[in-house]
Amino acid sequence: MSEPFVAPPESFVETTIVDKVGIITLKNPAKRNALSEGLLDGITDALHAFAAEGARVVVLRADAGTRVWSAGHDISELPRGGVDPLRYADPLERTLREIRSFPMPVIAMVHGSVWGGAFDLVLSCDMIVADSTATFAITPVNLGLPYNTTGLLHFLGRLPLNLIKEMFFTASPIKADVAMQWGVVNHLVPEDQLETFTLDIAHHMATKAPLAVAVIKEQLRVLTDFQPIAAQVFERIQDMRRTVYESADYQEGISAFEEKRKPVFRGH
Catalytic residue IDs: 73, 117, 147
* Alpha-carbon torsion (254, 63, 154, 83), positive or negative: positive
Question: Smallest Cα–Cα separation from 97: which of 150, 21, 148, 168?
Answer: 150
d(CA 203, CA 135): 26
Question: For residue 135, what are the CA distances in angstroms to 5, 64, 68, 157?
Answer: 30, 16, 9, 20
Crossing angle of the two packed helices 117-124 and 91-101, in degrees rounded to 10: 20
Q: What are phi and psi of 174, to 5 degrees?
A: -105, 145
d(CA 262, CA 256): 6
